């Protein structure tokens, strides 16, 4: 059943797209249709962008100008100094550093361990493989909340609470079923003859993995790296539970602290421009990663299809 549920994931993603209907020439109604089409697309794009634009806009407003009526889209004047204030008054750079540590170490762990596991499932025949793979897939349907309390106790017992380890170490153990699945799908597409030739030449499995398969995994590794980066960067519940002091706070957690600080209590009090500046700072690395490799990102999801919320 699970295999069937996931069978759609094996669909190929054709970048070309389909042609709705063959229109021989652009006649008058064709042009109107095309125009309406773009208007509609632009409309959805604007709606989609409103939160991001508003975030950027408010982050550049002067103190006390965040709640003007009617809403002011273009700050007057631009208060670039908000970002200077953010840098000097909050400890956002330290929190960002914590987030980077988590994201980089967790992503390396994910890439290594998920590709190892995927290699096992994709390229080696071994006893019980099918059952184990179904087990792996079914962990995707496991609500992660059920393990939160016991893993907290486990980490407490290991003395890892209020360190970054609980946010990093689990990624070194397979990195999540979704990433393993994604990489396995990719490996299945690589010709078998590569392994067979290598085995004839006397290569061991680790050598096939590292010298033959991994160099061909570029797009899959890129997709997983981006996913992992964005997921760990945005993660909120786990840092909230596993980190207790200021020292190791990640950016997502710090931002929640700013919410309390700047927007605590009723609306209107506090400096929302600072809050939005911090939000923008948090968004920038994600945007950089997303734009630098969006091709892989969307391809990666369409190949595999699971993200957090």
Partner 1 sequence: MQSTEARQLKPPSSRIVPRQWRRHAWGFAFISPWLLGFVVFAAFPMVYSAFLSLTSYDLLSPPRFVGLSNFDRMINDRIFYISLANTAYYTFTAVPAQIVVALLMAVAVNQKLKGINVFRTAFYLPTVTPAVASIVVFMQLYHPEVGIFNTVLGGFGAPKIAWLADPKWVKPALIIMSLWHVGAQMVIFLAGLQGVPETLIEAASIDGASAIRRFWHVTVPLITPVIFFNLVLGIISSFQIFNAAFIATNGGPVQSTLFYVLWLYRHAFENFRMGYAATLGWVLMGIVLVFTLLNLLMAKRWVYYEGAIR
Residues 80-139 that bind partner 1 (CB under 8 A): 113, 116-117, 119-121, 124-127, 129, 132, 135-136, 139
Q: Which of residues 209-228 bind partner 1 (CB under 8 A)?
A: 209
Residues in CB range of 183: below 8 A, 6 or more apart = 114, 115, 118, 122, 217, 220, 221, 224
CA-based nearest residue to 13, from 219, 194, 212: 219
Does position 20 interact with partner 1 (CB under 8 A)? The reply is yes
Cβ atoms of 269 and 114 within 8 Å: the answer is no
Residue 113 to residue 117: CA distance in whole angstroms: 6
Q: Which of residues 256-295 bind partner 1 (CB under 8 A)?
A: 256, 259, 263, 267, 272, 275-276, 279-280, 282-283, 286-287, 290-291, 294
CB of 143 to partner 1, least distance (A): 5
Phi, psi of 10 (to 5 degrees): -90, 5
| Sign, Cα dihedral of 49, 54, 55, 56 | positive
> With contacts defined by CB under 8 A, how many residues of the chain interact with partner 1?
113
Does position 237 interact with partner 1 (CB under 8 A)? The reply is yes
Does position 308 interact with partner 1 (CB under 8 A)? The reply is yes
Residue placing its CB nearer to partner 1 in the complex, 52 or 84: 52
Which stretch in 30-38, 83-91, 189-197, 214-222 sits in contact with partner 1 by CB under 8 A?
30-38
Q: Which of residues 36-75 bind partner 1 (CB under 8 A)?
A: 37-38, 40-41, 44-45, 48-52, 54-55, 58, 66-71
CB of 14 to partner 1, least distance (A): 5
Both tokens assigned to 280: 């923008």
Q: Which of residues 170-209 bind partner 1 (CB under 8 A)?
A: 170, 172-174, 177, 180, 205, 209
In the numeric block, the tokens 């797209």 are attached to: 17
Residues in CB range of 75: below 8 A, 6 or more apart = 57, 58, 60, 61, 62, 65
């Amino acid at each position: 059943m699970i295999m069937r549920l996931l069978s759609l994931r094996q669909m190929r993603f054709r970048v070309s797209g389909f042609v709705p209907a063959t229109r021989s020439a652009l006649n008058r109604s064709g042009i109107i249709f095309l125009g309406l089409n773009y208007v509609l697309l632009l409309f959805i794009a604007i709606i989609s962008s409103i939160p991001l634009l508003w975030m950027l806009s408010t982050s550049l407003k002067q103190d006390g100008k965040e709640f003007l009526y009617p809403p002011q889209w273009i700050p007057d004047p631009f208060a670039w100094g908000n970002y200077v204030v953010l840098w000097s008054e909050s400890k956002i750079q330290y929190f960002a550093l914590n987030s980077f540590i988590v994201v980089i170490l967790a992503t390396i762990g994910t890439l290594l361990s998920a590709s190892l596991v995927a290699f096992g499932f994709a390229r080696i025949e071994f006893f019980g493989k099918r059952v184990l793979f179904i087990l792996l897939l079914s962990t995707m349907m496991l609500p992660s909340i059920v393990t939160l309390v016991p893993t907290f106790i486990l980490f407490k017992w290991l003395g890892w609470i209020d360190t970054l380890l609980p946010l990093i170490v689990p990624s070194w153990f397979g990195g999540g079923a979704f990433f393993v699945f994604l990489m396995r799908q990719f490996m299945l597409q690589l010709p078998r003859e590569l392994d067979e030739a290598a085995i004839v030449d006397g290569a061991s499995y680790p050598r096939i993995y590292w010298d033959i398969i991994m160099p061909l995994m570029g797009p899959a590794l890129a997709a997983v790296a981006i996913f992992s980066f964005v997921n760990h960067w945005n993660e909120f519940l786990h840092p909230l539970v596993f980190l207790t002091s200021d020292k190791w706070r990640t950016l997502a957690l710090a931002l929640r602290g700013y919410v309390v600080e700047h927007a605590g209590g009723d609306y209107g009090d506090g400096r929302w421009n600072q809050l939005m500046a911090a939000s923008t700072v948090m968004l920038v690395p994600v945007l950089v990663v997303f734009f630098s490799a969006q091709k892989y990102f969307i391809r990666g999801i369409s190949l595999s299809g699971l993200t957090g919320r």
